[in-house]
Amino acid sequence: MIGSVPRATQKAFLAGLTEAELVALPNLFEFWALDHQTPPGGEWRTWTILGGRGAGKTRAGAEWVRAMVEGPKPLDAGLVRQVALVGETMDQARELMVFGDSGIMACAPSDRRPDWQAGRRMLVWPNGAEAQVLSAHDPDALRGRQFEALWADELAKWKRAQEAWDMLQFGLRLGDDPRACVTTTPRRSALLEGLLQRNSTVMTHAPTQANRANLAASFIAEVVARYGGTQLGRQEIAGELLSEIEGALWSFEMIQRAEQVPKLDRIVVAIDPPATATAQADACGIVVAGVAMAGPVQDWRAVVLEDASVAGLKPLGWAEVAVAAFHRHGADRLVAEVNQGGDMVEDVLRQVDPLLPYRGVRASRGKVARAEPVAALYEQGRVSHVAGLDQLEDQMVQMTSGGYAGRGSPDRVDALVWALHDLMIAPAAAWRNPQIRTL
């Protein structure tokens, strides 16, 4: 790059440019781009850019969209006319991908800057190309869309990632060579890992430090000092995808996908309430699961139907969510851990539904000891998941024999364990020894 050559060489290069070339130079991203910001050659359908915080992923995505829609002159047609810009939420897509410091509007030259049509949530370029801004939060809203190019930002954070990605793949169908660019900080995600394993996917990668010329030196020094060498640092700074944790009770390979939900004989909703009764408390784990009880207990099969966990709600709020899930699935029972909340848990649930079939459960062993027999059910192939449980699955693969390796509390996993204990572990224990009733 010109930035790495001697000063005299730089001056000579610039002196040889015409005035028009000098004016255009800042907008020629292919001249300034780092290696990981440049699309690989060859045939591919998805280009995935993995990088640490501040590595220049957003700029790369925005410039890729520019390269796809812009022609040689402002009114000339580009390679594509229909683009989808998809973020985790509509606000994030608009504020980061469109109007962010490294977003499309900031990168566009003045004679090619698109017009933002707020009512349509759309960018329209002078040459007629259009980019629809969409949210991954509601996968059903993505049905019926069609486009030639897709930029998906922070894919590994999407709450209903698999469902949203599937809908987008059906829409990526126009033109001779429809392609997608995915920009994301790597997080454990079944979707991301599966995407990277596809032959049609290419990947570039860079740590935060690769873009140090555009970052404050104090920022890099601080995050490296605080997080260097940690798992969080490897993910958020080095941009590594940590697919396996030593001693993990679950792996993504152990989690089978339920292509079709069988007839279920029992369904339960399990709650792992937060330790404190405030809106700032940890998330409340709420998981719905059912069991098909054909044959002896050792032949039963369970399906995890929904992760309805919520954060930031007071007790009455999460109780309403749990009871709504109970009725939505026609559940037979709601079980809740009462080690922290005691009678308050039942009291608040009965404020929502006085006739709720409820059972409080009290943990007599640690989280790992409770989780291990449930993990064994997965090893035996006796539990499957419906699609869309990415956040729960991300917590599961961070649950190890030495404890939880993720941040915060494994609230979703705790609720999962309680649900499958009630459906599978407790009946099996009672079958072997009727006096066993606690976990």
The model's pLDDT over 106-147, given as tens digits with 9 standing for 90+, comes to 999 988 999 999 999 999 999 999 999 999 999 999 999 999
Mean pLDDT value of segment 236-262: 81
- Tell me what pLDDT residue 439 has: 46
Alpha-carbon distance 138 to 93, whole Å?
14
- Tell me what pLDDT residue 417 has: 96
- Tell me what pLDDT residue 257 has: 85
Instruction: Kindly tell me if the per-residue pLDDT of 259 is higher than 90.
Output: no
- Tell me what pLDDT residue 281 has: 57
Are 404 and 279 a contacting pair, CB within 8 Å?
no
Q: Is the pTM of this model over 0.95?
A: no
- Tell me what pLDDT residue 228 has: 73
- Tell me what pLDDT residue 436 has: 47
Mean pLDDT value of segment 359-368: 84
| Average pLDDT value over all residues in the chain | 88
Alpha-carbon distance 386 to 259, whole Å?
7
- Tell me what pLDDT residue 312 has: 86
Sheet containing 46-51: which strands, arranged edge to edge?
115-117, 122-124, 130-135, 82-87, 149-153, 179-184, 46-51, 201-206
CA–CA distances in Å: residue 230 to residues 233, 240, 391, 406: 5, 12, 21, 11
* Range with the poorest average pLDDT among 190-199, 365-374, 430-439: 430-439
Both tokens assigned to 375: 């993990």
Instruction: Kindly tell me if the per-residue pLDDT of 355 is higher than 50.
Output: yes
Give 283-340 pLDDT, tens digit per residue.
899 999 999 998 888 889 999 999 999 998 889 999 999 999 999 999 999 999 987 7
* Range with the poorest average pLDDT among 12-16, 283-287, 379-383: 12-16
- Specify the higher pLDDT residue, 341 or 141: 141
Instruction: Kindly tell me if the per-residue pLDDT of 341 is higher than 70.
Output: no
- Specify the higher pLDDT residue, 31 or 94: 94
- Phi, psi (5° rounding) for residue 217? -60, -35
- Tell me what pLDDT residue 363 has: 78
One-letter amino acid identity for 2?
I
> Which residues are bridge partners to 250 per DSSP?
none
Give 422-436 pLDDT, tens digit per residue.
999 988 876 666 554
- Tell me what pLDDT residue 32 has: 77
Residues near 420 by beta carbon (within 8 Å), at least 6 away in sequence: 289, 302, 304, 374, 377, 383
- Tell me what pLDDT residue 406 has: 77
Instruction: Kindly tell me if the per-residue pLDDT of 23 is higher than 80.
Output: no
The rounded percent of the chain whose pLDDT value lies above 70 is 92
- Tell me what pLDDT residue 280 has: 52
> How many Cβ atoms are within 10 Å of 8's Cβ, its own excluded?
8
Instruction: Kindly tell me if the per-residue pLDDT of 5 is higher than 80.
Output: no
- Tell me what pLDDT residue 438 has: 45
Residues near 356 by beta carbon (within 8 Å), at least 6 away in sequence: 323, 326, 334, 349, 350
Mean pLDDT value of segment 377-400: 89
Q: What is the DSSP letter of 98?
A: I
Mean pLDDT value of segment 30-39: 85
- Tell me what pLDDT residue 437 has: 45
Q: What is the DSSP letter of 77?
A: B
What's the chain's Rg over C-alpha atoms?
25
Question: Where does residue 435 rank: exposed (0-12), middle (13-18), buried (19+ CB within 10 A)?
Answer: exposed
Instruction: Kindly tell me if the per-residue pLDDT of 276 is higher than 70.
Output: no
- Tell me what pLDDT residue 252 has: 79
